[in-house]
Amino acid sequence: MHIHVEGVAGLPIIHKGDDLLALICEKVVFADGDILCIASSVYSKAKGYTKILSDITPTERAVRIAGKTKEDPRFIQAVLDASTDVLLEYPFVLSEVSCGHIGVRAGVDQSNIEDGMLILLPPDPMAAAAGVREAVQKITGKTVGVIITDTCGRSFRRGQTGHAIGWSGMTAIRDFRGDTDLFGHVLKITEEAVVDEIAGFANFVMGESNNGVPAVVFRNCGTWTGHDDLYFRPDEDLTRAMLKKETG
Amino acid sequence: MHIHVEGVAGLPIIHKGDDLLALICEKVVFADGDILCIASSVYSKAKGYTKILSDITPTERAVRIAGKTKEDPRFIQAVLDASTDVLLEYPFVLSEVSCGHIGVRAGVDQSNIEDGMLILLPPDPMAAAAGVREAVQKITGKTVGVIITDTCGRSFRRGQTGHAIGWSGMTAIRDFRGDTDLFGHVLKITEEAVVDEIAGFANFVMGESNNGVPAVVFRNCGTWTGHDDLYFRPDEDLTRAMLKKETG
């Protein structure tokens, strides 16, 4: 399997209302089966999923948390507004957002946007991915897979990695149930989170800081079968259960 | 950045004593700067880091844990022997191994090996990666980076992904400290675990089950600066602290 991976560079700084997909399709010659990864931040900027910090009035809770984390209470309010379940308040807010993703500060970001502005995660990243897929189809006639990525930390290991928060045209999990290994044993490890493996490498290609590569195209990744149950249910998520116990 | 990624297919089933690197170098035309990812399982098989299940006498502790997890006590004994710190016994053993990596069942694997055999993680995966790097240099004259990968689960999200447990010729973390974003703000997110992002995509290319692709070559990944402190210290690892508290 020879895979070709290319960062989409040379895009202008994106603002609300920009036709991000038209801009990307100007830079990329898509083929059927390609996978397009887009950073949630640039998608949200184009769609206007942003907030002006000075428009936010923090609640008492936000002021209390911000006192502990030493962040702007208005920023914390934006994080709380984006959260459906707060798992941890300190040393950083860790929370679930409506799509089921659990991340630090609910993915609210102050970088790569004008001073005093915040970038939110897309409120429905699955719909976002499906919409991007449709847009590429409409503009280029090509059928691609799409992953919307976010950058998050993880347990035990330092450093952020890219994660998938929305996807379309593929399943999140490649399911090996019933498959056998090289020796004919039925496999015990049966589920591989392929969208996160692809999103992680897309994040590597994007880089952070000022690279200006908010999208990455993968060619020849093949296909797989599986399912979309990427997030543990609360009752099967050990880490979450412990965090909830700890924080009450 | 155009990156080319290729799975190394067509290798025979590997046994103790096989010259894995010679076999890989027959299949790949390396260039300076390539990154070679190797599954820890195939590396361990070649080096003989395996155990015969029937040679293992389980301790009381292993019997007790195996009673809860419904696994073979001898398998659990091998897991305990490979562990330097057990964080969780049930529903699965989660433990730290000597290199600092924390994983389920200490990475001890019963798949892709003959019945009654176990594959262990390499005892020193950093040295393993350095040794692979040297071997490629010796065989081909090319200077490559090397990542030894393992497959693990994670918090909050279902499914396994590839992780780096050893690396050579690169730093684990790409460090953006002091960098600025597109708007000139000094970045808050400063550390990206690039070895895990690369290992994850390598795992995607390897697939699981019977694909027989235990190594993956990346070309044109560029270079970065950073550091190798991939594992949190126990005192800064929130999840670990909670697990230890929970399990006593």
Tens-place pLDDT, residues A199-216? 999 999 998 656 789 999
Dist. CA B54–CA A195, nearest whole Å: 39
Helix (H), strand (E) at residue A117? strand A117-119
Percent helix, percent strand, percent coil in chain A, to nearest 5:
35, 25, 40
Dist. CA B63–CA B86, nearest whole Å: 15
Q: Out of A180, A182, A240, whose CB is closest to B13? A: A182
φ and ψ of B137, to 5 deg: -60, -45
The DSSP bridge pattern shows strands B35-39 and B145-152 to be: parallel
Task: Divide the 248 residues of chain B into consecutive groups of 10 and give the mean pLDDT of each group.
Answer: 92 95 97 98 96 97 97 97 95 94 94 91 98 98 98 93 98 88 77 97 84 92 95 87 74
Q: Can you read off the two tokens belonging to residue B175?
A: 């460090």
Q: Of A188, A47, A157, nearest to B231 (Cα)?
A: A157
The DSSP bridge pattern shows strands A145-152 and A35-39 to be: parallel
Which residues of chain B have a CB within 8 Å of the CB of A209? 176, 179-181, 187
Are A182 and B243 within 8 A, CB to CB?
no
Are B188 and A246 within 8 A, CB to CB?
no
Which pLDDT does position B185 carry in this prediction? 80
Are A158 and B88 within 8 A, CB to CB?
no
Three-state SS for A145? strand
Q: Out of A111, A197, A213, whose CB is closest to B201? A: A197
Which pLDDT does position B210 carry in this prediction? 60
Strand ranges across the sheet with B145-152? A161-168, A145-152, A35-39, A215-219, A2-8, B2-8, B215-219, B35-39, B145-152, B161-168
Are A161 and B187 within 8 A, CB to CB?
no
Query: Counting beta carbons within 10 angstroms of the beta carbon of residue B72, is it exposed (0 to 12), middle (13 to 18) or buried (19 or more)?
Result: middle
Which pLDDT does position A203 carry in this prediction? 96
Q: Of A202, A191, A203, nearest to A228 (Cα)?
A: A191
In angstroms and rounded to an integer, the radius of gyration of the C-alpha atoms of chain B is 19
Tell which CATH classification among 3.40.50.2300, 3.30.1330.100, 3.30.70.3270, 3.40.50.300 matches the domain A1-47+122-231: 3.30.1330.100
Query: Which chain A residue shows the shortest CA-CA distance from B96?
Result: A156
Contact B159, B153 (CB under 8 A): yes
Dist. CA B75–CA B52, nearest whole Å: 10
- Identify from B167, B201, B225, B245 which residue to disrupt to test chain A contact, counting A C-beta atoms within 10 A and taking the largest count: B201
Q: Can you read off the two tokens belonging to residue B246?
A: 């929970």
Q: What are the start-end ranges of the H helices in chain A?
A: 20-27, 40-47, 60-69, 73-82, 125-140, 194-206, 238-247
Query: Which chain A residue shows the shortest CA-CA distance from B14?
Result: A182
Give residue-wise pLDDT tens across range A10-52: 999 999 999 999 999 999 999 999 999 999 999 999 999 999 9
CA A60 to chain B, closest CA, distance in angstroms equals 25
Q: Out of B2, B158, B203, whose CB is closest to A191? A: B158
Which residues of chain A have a CB within 8 Å of the CB of B230? 157-159
- Identify from A204, A210, A233, A247 which residue to disrupt to test chain B contact, counting B C-beta atoms within 10 A and taking the largest count: A204
The answer, yes or no, to whether residue A191 has pLDDT greater than 80, is yes
**Interface predicted TM-score (ipTM) of this complex, two decimals:** 0.96
Dist. CA B202–CA B166, nearest whole Å: 14
Which residues of chain A have a CB within 8 Å of the CB of B238? 88, 91, 155
CA dihedral B165, B170, B176, B181 (to 10 degrees): -110
Band of residue A148 on the pLDDT scale cut at 50, 70, 90:
very high
The DSSP bridge pattern shows strands B145-152 and B161-168 to be: antiparallel
Which residues of chain B have a CB within 8 Å of the CB of A88? 238
**Beta-carbon neighbour count of residue B137 at 10 Å?**
15
Residue positions counted in chain B: 248
Assign a CATH topology to domain B50-120. CofE-like fold (3.90.1660)
Q: How far is CA A208 from CA A71, A112, B201, B224, in A?
A: 22, 10, 18, 12
B50-120 shares the fold of B1-47+122-231: no
Domain boundaries in chain B?
A: 1-47+122-231, 50-120
Contact B159, A192 (CB under 8 A): yes
Dist. CA B139–CA B151, nearest whole Å: 28
Which residues of chain A have a CB within 8 Å of the CB of B243? 242
Dist. CA A203–CA A206, nearest whole Å: 5
Query: Which chain B residue shows the shortest CA-CA distance from A202?
Result: B197
Band of residue A140 on the pLDDT scale cut at 50, 70, 90:
very high
Which residues of chain B have a CB within 8 Å of the CB of A183? 111-115
Three-state SS for B143? coil
Longest Cα–Cα distance of chain B, Å, equals: 62
Which pLDDT does position A208 carry in this prediction? 62
Which pLDDT does position B209 carry in this prediction? 57
pTM (global) more than 0.90? yes
Which pLDDT does position B248 carry in this prediction? 57
Query: Which chain A residue shows the shortest CA-CA distance from B4?
Result: A4
Contact B173, B138 (CB under 8 A): no
Three-state SS for B156? coil
Query: Which chain A residue shows the shortest CA-CA distance from B88?
Result: A238
Which residues of chain B have a CB within 8 Å of the CB of A157? 163, 193, 196, 230-232
Contact A122, A49 (CB under 8 A): yes
DSSP code of B127?
A: H
Q: What are the start-end ranges of the H helices in B123-237?
A: 125-140, 194-206
State which amino acid sits at residue A86: V
State the count of interchain CB pairs (< 8 A) between A and B: 226
Q: Of A149, A154, A175, A150, nearest to A229 (Cα)?
A: A175
Which pLDDT does position B147 carry in this prediction? 98
Angle between helices B20-27 and B40-47 (to 10 degrees): 130
Q: Out of A158, A191, A213, whose CB is closest to B230? A: A158
Contact B112, B120 (CB under 8 A): no
Query: Which chain B residue shows the shortest CA-CA distance from A113?
Result: B183
